[in-house]
Amino acid sequence: MSLKSIFDPMSLEIQPGFQVRDLTTPEECASALLRLDDEMASIRHQIAVAEERPAAAYPGWRMKAQNALSMKKRIARAIRTYASTMAATRPGINEKRQAILDTIKRELGDAEFDRLVALAKDRSPHLPWAS
């Protein structure tokens, strides 16, 4: 895990080489969340078994398991947040947003609209901006 992923939820790895930002549909997000839920349940089960038989657990294992569980929760939170921004979860939202943006652009003019778009990109670099 890189230092960048600690601060950028979109760069958290769901599995090796596959980050939150690589999810493209709400269905992929739901599938990733189901996998994470299974993984978290497995970790919780392992912790419960280790609590029943503490002599059988390796020293320091519980802390590693709890850290892994915490990381899985953080990834799940990032996926849920990202999924909530996807327009496919709300039919027609792209058309409504585009109509609003077109109206604003006509009212403000191209130069002012472009300035505001640049400002939005600067303020939200974590979003996947199209070129």
pLDDT averaged over 10-residue windows placed end to end, the chain, 131 residues: 64 87 88 94 89 78 90 93 73 79 92 91 82 58
pLDDT at site 4: 52
Torsion sign (Cα): 57, 63, 69, 75: negative
The answer to whether residues 43 and 66 belong to one domain is yes
Query: pTM, whole model, 2 decimals?
Result: 0.60
Quickly list H helices, the chain.
Answer: 3-7, 26-52, 61-84, 93-108, 110-123
Domain that holds residue 103: 91-131
The answer to whether residues 66 and 111 belong to one domain is no
pLDDT at site 131: 58
